[in-house]
Structure 1
Amino acid sequence: MDNPQDSLNVGFMTSGGLAPCLSSSIASLLSSYMALSTPFTARLYISGYKGILTGDSILLSNADIPALIESFHKMGGSPIGSSRVKLTNVEDCISRGYVPKGKVPLEVAAEQLKKDGVNVLHTIGGDDTNTQAGQLSFHLAKKGYELQVIGMPKSFVPFSSPGLPTMNTYDIHALYIPEISVDIASEGARLRAVMDKYDCVNIFLSEGAGVSDIVSEKEAMGESVSRDAFGHVRLESINPGAYFASKFKALVGAEKVLVQKSGYYARSSPALTYDRELIQKCADVAVQGAISGISGVAGQDDMSGEFRVIEFERIKGEKPFNVGQKWFEDMTAEIGAYGNEREVRASFVNSKGA
């Protein structure tokens, strides 16, 4: 498995939703490569897998890299753009004009990487990005093409995540996550007392919370629900924030409601110092993996706690959050969320194999 590289032609791409770590991940990887004695070239693919499929990339001059590293650390989002592309969804790739009719996206991506002479590809993104990276890696291995594909996660859950320090304050009165069902009537009664006491109610709604209920309600009414190339519900099409706001406005007696989507701010902000330290640890592991000829996803192993290149076979998304963790139970008890109803939604857990 190990196959040390004498020189490295490294490709970088970011994919999926934007996140504050994407730009710093590129910078940290470049820093780790600059610290090596092994010669390398860096190629940035524009707009994720779309850039690989269409051959849209920028070859960096090594003389420019130090300035880019400094600049990228100050940026939020991704300086090279992103896209949601599923390489195994042939019809979607063709309909969006990324590959000609009759072509197989995995084959097109493989040929482009060969043409560019890339022997290490860093895919920076979430679970969809890195499961696709795994598919690409397996496909290339079958074709006998020597390419290390090393993913970088765009979040560090459950070990650390932006927002936890804020959530552990008294600034919120309710917290809803996908893993725990919400009794809206019961919560409405509890929050009405909060409204009477403080004249306001602050609710933190996690991405994905209540989605299954909203989708079921819409489909029961004969409405269609839009989904992306991966089959995920497009959250903007069902607007959970507006749904919960309309439900609770009447229940708590609010005269006005403000829905703020913090993701718009967080995704476009530069990484915090603590995040950058985590990112650099992953980047160092990723580059050592490239040197050793190892493919996988560089991150903190949730079994051993070790930072390592984790096998693609172990990477999957939609892992349920462990609601039994002491810090979470303490926090929800402190704000009075859920009362005694702490049962994990069985259908959610069973469908995810937890």
Structure 2
Amino acid sequence: MNITVLGEAKFESPIGHSVSDSLLIPENIVIDPASTAKDDLKFELAGPRSKLFFDPKNTRAGIVTCGGLCPGLNNVIRSLFLELHHAYGVKQVIGFRGGYQGLDPVNGKEPVVLTPKFVHSIHKEGGTVLGTSRGPVDIRIAVDNLIQREVNMIFTVGGDGTQRGGNELFQEAKKRGYPLAVVGVPKTIDNDVAFVTRTFGYMTAVSEASKVLSNAHNEAISVENGIALVKLMGRNAGFVAAGATIACQDVNFALLPEVAFKLEGPNGFLAALKKRVLERSHALVVVAEGAGQDLFTADEMKKDDSGNIKAKDIGVFLRDTIGKYFKNENIPVVIRYIDPSYIVRSSAANSEDAILCDMFARNAVHAAMAGKTGLVIGYMHDRFIHVPIDLLTSRKKSMDPLSFQWKAVQASTGQVAQFK
């Protein structure tokens, strides 16, 4: 995939090694000789280039974090700054506060100038020291602000909504002829970003969620006919629920957005839950927030400020439905409904995610310094790549019901077949 470059790179890079633009990573590394499909997409390998477009001593960089919280945001901010400051020696790095609203000088807070002292220990904290928000900003005003502040590059840290905003910044700056490098760092605990095998924060969220599941299991087994129902985040993809289920190994039923299920009937979920309770006197059920949306009556879809469709509350719906079902069956049960919600995404990053954050950030800096723009750092086949923003935001990643991970969920729960 071709990546937009602002112009000829003329400045020598201070980095001791470099990567050539000619090195490409294929989307698919599994070769099927019988396949008649056309060649897969191929992406530039990320990394430092031998020549820079921007002169570091005259370069000013900006960072903005948007959307929901995610473990590792402060790690990314810190690593972006350290690479820009120490490795390249850029003139100044500023952090725009409060998400994209911070790009509006009227409505946003004054940006903070980042220093080694400011970022010294931020990686040990959850959340984002720059603050965040949902919703767009007037792109013309935002680019006016960036030009007035002589910002040469902007790093957009966020999910697909954030990256769509980054694409608008890129297009507006391009239209004006202003050389602005826009480089995105993909962020979401849902792990549903295309061309990214694992987004930062996902493994920390899975770890936190699996602790909740273990405690929920204790609640269920400590009473007669105990049913623990846990709702986890995952609007369009059930990767967090699936990962936590496999890690915990105590879950009996996992309900994900990618796999439809029926409630009623001899092969429905309620019948399977009844069988489990009668046989084992307890059950642990995990449901992703986007699962079972077809069970609700159709009405006007509501969206949040980032343009994402708001899911109906499947957790409360299942809690009430399960309670009513067992009452009608004259089977006494104790239901413990647990919704950890935002708790699993607000902690500091674990070691695995901290390393991933650092790599995403440093590769983003390398791309921007070389004058590359309109891209997001991707991660496939254990390699970091350059993905055009418009391509990345045109797709969504979800769990394949035929995948190894879903089969692992079924094996660990005993949920051999989904409820139909």
Q: 1:58 maps to which residue? A: 111
C-alpha displacement at 1:6, in angstroms?
A: 0.7
Structure 2 match to 1:49: 100
Quick check: 152-161 or 265-274, which moved more? 152-161
Distance change in 2, residues 1:272/1:314 (3 Å): same
State the SS of the aligned residue for 1:83.
Answer: coil
Q: Does 1:147 align with 2:196?
A: no
Report the more deviating stretch, 178-187 or 53-62: 53-62
Say whether the 8 Å CA contact 2:254–2:286 is kept in structure 1: yes
- The count of residues paired between Structure 1 and Structure 2 equals 312
User: Residue 55 of structure 1 contacts residue 112 of structure 1 at CA under 8 Å; is this kept in 2?
Assistant: no
**Match for 1:199: what amino acid?**
S
| Aligned partner of residue 352 in structure 2, secondary structure | helix
Q: Which has the higher strand share?
A: 2
Are 1:321 and 2:371 matched, yes or no?
no
Cα drift, residue 242 of structure 1: 0.7
User: 2:44 matched to which residue of 1?
Assistant: none
CA distance, structure 2, for counterparts of residue 14 and residue 79 of structure 1: 9
Moved more, 42-51 or 253-262: 253-262
Matched letter for residue 136 of structure 1: L
> Contact between 2:98 and 2:131, CA under 8 Å: does it hold in 1?
yes
CA offset digits 1:235-294 (Å, max 9, x no partner): 4xx322111222223345563433333332112100111011111111111010111011
Q: Residues 176 and 147 (structure 1 numbering): CA distance in 2 closer, same or farther, change over 3 Å?
A: same
Taking structure 1 as reference, are residues 251 and 173 closer, same or farther at Cα in structure 2, changes over 3 Å only? farther
Bigger mean CA deviation after superposition, 270-279 or 330-339: 330-339
How far apart in 2 are the matches of 1:330 and 1:143?
51
Aligned partners of 1:254, 1:269: CA distance in 2, in Å? 37
Q: CA deviation at 1:323?
A: 2.3
Q: What stretches of structure 2 of length at least 5 have no aligned partner? A: 10-52, 207-241
Aligned position for 2:364: 286
Query: Could you tell me the TM-score, scaled by structure 2's length?
Result: 0.68
Name 1:347's counterpart in structure 2: none
1:272-327 residue CA offsets vs partner (Å, 9 max, x unmatched): 110111111111110101110112111304xx552023111211254332222113
Shift in CA distance, 73/190, structure 1 to aligned 2, threshold 3 Å:
same
Distance (whole Å) between structure 2 residues aligned to residue 294 and residue 284 of structure 1? 14
Partner of 1:196: 278
Find the residue that maps to 1:258 and give its secondary structure: strand
Cα separation, 2, equivalents of 1:146 and 1:19: 30
- Once residues 112 and 326 of structure 1 are traced to their aligned partners in structure 2, the CA distance between those partners, rounded to angstroms, is 48
Change (3 A) 1:336 1:250: farther
The equivalences for 1:215-294 within 5 A come to: 217=297, 219=299, 225-235=301-311, 238-251=312-325, 253=331, 255-294=333-372
Partner of 2:75: 24
Partner of 1:172: 251
In 2: Cα distance, 1:6 partner to 1:30 partner:
16
Q: Spell out, residue by residue over 1:150-185, the C-alpha distance to the aligned partner (whole angstroms, 9 max, x if none).
A: 111113556343216532132211111111101122
What code does the residue aligned with 2:320 have?
S
SS in 2 for 1:141: helix
Say which SS state the counterpart of residue 315 (structure 2) adopts.
Answer: helix
Q: Which has the larger radius of gyration?
A: 2
1:93-104 alignment to 2 at 5 Å?
none
Question: Quick check: 2:376–2:389 contact (8 Å CA) kept in 1?
Answer: yes
Q: Give the structure 2 partner of residue 130 of structure 1.
A: 163
SS of 1:257's partner is strand
Mapped to 1, the partners of 2:113 and 2:308 lie a distance apart of 35
Structure having the higher helix fraction is: 1
State the distance in 2 between where 1:259 and 1:118 align: 49
Deviations 1:214-246 (A, max 9, x none): 2xx152xxxx553223443334xx322111222
**SS of match in other structure, 2:88:** coil
Which position in structure 1 is the counterpart of 2:385? Answer: 308
What is the SS of the residue equivalent to 1:203? strand
| Alpha-carbon spacing, 1:227–1:306, altered in 2? closer, same or farther (3 Å) | same
- For structure 1, list consecutive stretches of 5 or more residues without a partner in the other structure: 88-104, 343-354
TM-score, length basis structure 1: 0.80
Partners of 1:286 and 1:250 in 2: how far apart?
52
Moved over 4 A (4+): none
